[in-house]
Amino acid sequence: MSIRLITSESVTEGHPDKVCDLVADSILDAALAGDPHSRIACEVTAATGLILVVGEFTTEQYIDIPKIVRKVVTDIGYTGSEMGFDGATCAVMTSINEQSKDIAQGVDRTNANDSADSLGAGDQGMMYGYACNETPELMPLPIMFAHGLTARLTEVRKNEEIKYLRPDGKAQVTIAYNKKGIPKYVDTVVVSTQHDENVTHERIVKDIMTKVIKKVIPSKYLKAETKYHINPTGRFVIGGPAGDCGVTGRKIIVDTYGGICPHGGGAFSGKDPTKVDRSAAYFARYVCKNLVAAGAADKVMLQVAYAIGQADPVSIYIDTFGTAKFTEDKILDAVKNFFDFRPYKIIEKLKLRNPIYAKTTNYGHFGKEGMTWERVDMAEELKTALTGE
């Protein structure tokens, strides 16, 4: 049997980059809650004792940025000097301007009521979507296991099942695939978690193995020869913004498909839905998931590209990696017939002007229940169109 090893990683909500992403998305939600047409481009940096918020905001809603920052940081669990970071006492600095009028006129050329043709893309670029039949969520298995581990790290920390854990942490999972592309077993698991100073490495290894890894990864995927690296440096006391500077948008592969699918380069967090970096990537996932659910292919990748200020995409491309049940031309024709990729239509279809974004920040933007882009409500129509039945 020919084996391929594929690896994906995830990080906890206490990772410094994810602290920044959650601050940015929480600020975006606050703006959309009062003004659904807010234009927000929010960037955040976190370092020892400091959160810096910068960006371009055009909104009718007052946003209490320091209050939001402190609540986010405190809720994550950075609540004292022993953590190296404290939401109650950290400095919060801001530098906010309005959206450039040059960009604004391209995004909404009428400067009045949005319409399908007047709302142009907020930037040029290409976005990718992906879906496969490896998991019930139609996501790649490595990233789902990695997200499961980091979410579990947070759960056992907050419910005090493992009392000595601190907010920062990472996980990485390597899956062995056979030559047919079917996941067979877990080859390697890496978990690094911040912890109190006085706990022993041996206890950490035991607790993470029994209360995290074996609670997340089904036993059928764990073999006797599966390798485990738990806090492999031996010590992880200093973490979060005190251990490493955080910046929004640095975990784009964690946010998407764990490296299984290409990435256009545009981050998600802190961006309102007129930014196609976010909204078109969500829509591309929606299209791919419905195609797989319809039985069009076992795995589908879609690329869509835009020119700033233009409503219609400049290109749409799909790749089914040899798993298509129909010709790719026929599948692409169905995509173009059933899905409208203009930014206004994407926002309308997925209801993206609602304050939903803080829910997306951690443990992946895809594969989560309750998100509109995770629905498979077009699968039956697509199936009928493709099969002619």
pLDDT digits (tens, 9 = 90+) for 36-48: 999 999 999 999 9
315: in domain: yes
357 Cβ contact list (under 8 Å, min separation 6): 25, 26, 28, 29, 32, 269
Q: Does residue 210 sit in the same domain as residue 303?
A: no
Could you tell me if 363 and 145 are in contact, meaning their C-beta atoms sit under 8 angstroms apart? no
Is a pLDDT exceeding 80 seen at residue 241?
yes
Q: Does residue 228 sit in the same domain as residue 309?
A: no
Q: Does residue 299 sit in the same domain as residue 344?
A: yes
- Helices 65-76 and 16-34, packing angle to 10 deg: 130
pLDDT at res. 53: 98
pLDDT at res. 112: 46
Lowest mean pLDDT among 100-109, 158-167, 295-304, 343-352: 100-109
Residue 100 pLDDT grade (very low, low, confident, very high; cuts 50, 70, 90): low
Of 185, 217, 239, the position where a domain reaches its end is 239
The CATH code of the domain that includes 311 is 3.30.300.10
Of 193, 213, 239, the position where a domain reaches its end is 239
> What tens digit of pLDDT does each residue of 289-325 get?
999 999 999 999 999 999 998 999 999 999 999 999 9
pLDDT at res. 353: 97
282: in domain: yes
Residue 343 pLDDT grade (very low, low, confident, very high; cuts 50, 70, 90): very high
Q: Does residue 130 sit in the same domain as residue 147?
A: no
* Nearest alpha carbon to residue 234 among 265, 192, 272: 192
What percent of the chain lies above the pLDDT cut of 70?
95
Q: Which residue has the higher pLDDT, 237 or 82?
A: 237
Report the phi/psi class of residue 330: left, alpha or beta, with left for phi > 0 and alpha for psi in -120 to 50: alpha
pLDDT at res. 123: 86
Q: Does residue 130 sit in the same domain as residue 161?
A: no
pLDDT at res. 114: 55
252: in domain: no
Q: Does residue 166 sit in the same domain as residue 130?
A: no
The span from the CA of 342 to the CA of 19, in Å, is 32
Q: Which residue has the higher pLDDT, 91 or 101?
A: 91
What's the mean pLDDT in 319-334?
96
Could you tell me if 382 and 60 are in contact, meaning their C-beta atoms sit under 8 angstroms apart? no
Is a pLDDT exceeding 80 seen at residue 58?
yes
Q: Which residue has the higher pLDDT, 188 or 97?
A: 188
Q: DSSP characters for 246-309?
A: EETT--HHHHTTTTSS---S---TTB-TTSHHHHHHHHHHHHHHHHHHTTSBSEEEEEEEE-BT
Is a pLDDT exceeding 60 seen at residue 157?
yes
Q: Does residue 358 sit in the same domain as residue 314?
A: yes
| Rg of the chain, C-alpha, whole Å | 22
pLDDT at res. 119: 85
- Per the structure, the count of domains in the chain is 2
Is a pLDDT exceeding 90 seen at residue 248?
yes
Could you tell me if 361 and 25 are in contact, meaning their C-beta atoms sit under 8 angstroms apart? yes
169: in domain: yes
Q: Which residue has the higher pLDDT, 147 or 243?
A: 147
Average pLDDT of the chain, as a whole number: 94
Of 216, 239, 262, the position where a domain reaches its end is 239
**Three-state SS across 89-130?**
CCEEEEEEECCCHHHHHHHECCCCCCCCCCECECCCEEEEEE
Q: Does residue 361 sit in the same domain as residue 310?
A: yes
Q: Does residue 199 sit in the same domain as residue 226?
A: yes
Q: Does residue 130 sit in the same domain as residue 146?
A: no
263 Cβ contact list (under 8 Å, min separation 6): 128, 252, 253, 256
Lowest mean pLDDT among 80-89, 152-161, 210-219, 310-319: 80-89
pLDDT at res. 116: 64
Q: Does residue 154 sit in the same domain as residue 214?
A: yes
Is a pLDDT exceeding 50 seen at residue 111?
no
What's the mean pLDDT in 157-179?
97
78: in domain: no
Residue 113 pLDDT grade (very low, low, confident, very high; cuts 50, 70, 90): low
Q: Does residue 316 sit in the same domain as residue 282?
A: yes
Is a pLDDT exceeding 80 seen at residue 208?
yes
Helices (H) and strands (E) in the chain, counts: 11, 13
376: in domain: yes
Residue 82 pLDDT grade (very low, low, confident, very high; cuts 50, 70, 90): confident
Extract the tokens encoding 97: 């301007």
pLDDT at res. 110: 45
Is a pLDDT exceeding 80 seen at residue 99?
no
Q: Which domain holds residue 348?
A: 125-134+275-387
SS3 for 378? coil
The span from the CA of 367 to the CA of 142, in Å, is 12
> What tens digit of pLDDT does each residue of 371-382 get?
999 999 999 999
114: in domain: no
Is a pLDDT exceeding 60 seen at residue 106?
no
> What tens digit of pLDDT does each residue of 267-281 get?
999 999 999 999 999
What's the mean pLDDT in 82-108?
80
46: in domain: no
